[in-house]
Structure 1
Amino acid sequence: MTKKKLTLAALALAGAGTLAITASAQERLVLPGGNWAAMLDRTDGGHRFGNPAAETKLIEFMSYTCSHCAQFARRGDGALKLAYVPTGKISYEIRHLIRDPVDLTAALLTHCGDPKKFGRNHEAITYRYDEWIEKARTATQAQKSRWQFGSLSARLQAIASDLDFYDIMETRGYSRAEMNRCLSDEAKANAMADRSAADAERYGITGTPSFVLDGKLLEGTHDWPTLEKQLKDAI
Structure 2
Amino acid sequence: MKKIAFRLAAITACAVLSMAAAPKSTAPAKSPSGGSWARTTAMTADGSHRLGNPEAPIKLVEFVSYTCPHCAHFHKEADPVLRMAMVPKGQISVTVTNFVRNPVDLTVAMLTNCGDPARFFVRHSAFFASQDKWLAKAQATTREQQQRWYQGEFAARMRAIAGDLGFYDQTGAWGLTRAQTDQCLTDKVMLERIKKQQAEVQALGLEGTPSFTLNGQLLDGHDWQTVSKAIVDKQAELRAGNI
> So what's the TM-score if we normalise by structure 1?
0.83
Return closer, same or farther for 1:75/1:32 CA change in 2, 3 Å cut-off.
farther
Shift of residue 205, structure 1, vs aligned partner:
2.3
Partner of 2:5: 9
Shift of residue 207, structure 1, vs aligned partner:
2.0
**153, 157, 160: which is aligned to 1:158?**
160
Shift of residue 43, structure 1, vs aligned partner:
1.2
Shift of residue 201, structure 1, vs aligned partner:
2.5
Matches of 1:34 and 1:113, distance apart in 2: 26
Residue by residue over 1:126-152, the C-alpha shift from the partner in whole angstroms, topping out at 9 and shown as x without a partner, is: 100000001000101111111111111
Query: Could you tell which deviates more after superposition, 166-175 or 101-110?
Result: 166-175
Aligned partner of residue 94 in structure 2, secondary structure = strand
Matches of 1:231 and 1:50, distance apart in 2: 15
Partner of 1:209: 210
Shift of residue 198, structure 1, vs aligned partner:
1.5
Matches within 5 A, 1:177-188: 177-188=179-190
Alpha carbons 2:36, 2:89 under 8 Å: kept:
no
Question: 4+ runs of 1 displaced by more than 6 Å?
Answer: none
Partner of 2:137: 135
Partner of 1:223: 223
- Structure 2 gaps of 5+ residues are 8-31, 236-243
Matches within 5 A, 1:27-106: 35-45=36-46, 46-106=48-108
Cα RMSD, aligned residues only: 2.0
Matches of 1:113 and 1:77, distance apart in 2: 22
Aligned partner of residue 61 in structure 1, secondary structure = strand
Matches of 1:181 and 1:208, distance apart in 2: 28
Partner of 1:232: 232
Letter paired with 1:110: T
Return closer, same or farther for 1:166/1:227 CA change in 2, 3 Å cut-off.
same
Alpha carbons 1:97, 1:196 under 8 Å: kept:
yes
Letter paired with 1:40: T
Return closer, same or farther for 1:33/1:172 CA change in 2, 3 Å cut-off.
farther
Alpha carbons 2:63, 2:99 under 8 Å: kept:
yes
Shift of residue 206, structure 1, vs aligned partner:
2.2
- Structure 1 gaps of 5+ residues are 1-6, 12-30
Alpha carbons 1:59, 1:94 under 8 Å: kept:
yes
Shift of residue 124, structure 1, vs aligned partner:
1.2
Residue by residue over 1:66-91, the C-alpha shift from the partner in whole angstroms, topping out at 9 and shown as x without a partner, is: 11011112111222111211121211
Aligned partner of residue 209 in structure 2, secondary structure = coil
- Structure 2 residue 128 is the aligned partner of structure 1 residue 126: yes
Partner of 1:19: none
Alpha carbons 1:97, 1:200 under 8 Å: kept:
no
Matches of 1:69 and 1:168, distance apart in 2: 20
Matches of 1:127 and 1:157, distance apart in 2: 22
Aligned partner of residue 94 in structure 1, secondary structure = strand
Aligned residues: 209
Partner of 1:194: 196
Shift of residue 60, structure 1, vs aligned partner:
0.4
> So what's the TM-score if we normalise by structure 2?
0.80
Residue by residue over 1:140-178, the C-alpha shift from the partner in whole angstroms, topping out at 9 and shown as x without a partner, is: 111111111111111011000001111112112221111
Identity %: 43
Query: Could you tell which deviates more after superposition, 63-72 or 187-196?
Result: 187-196
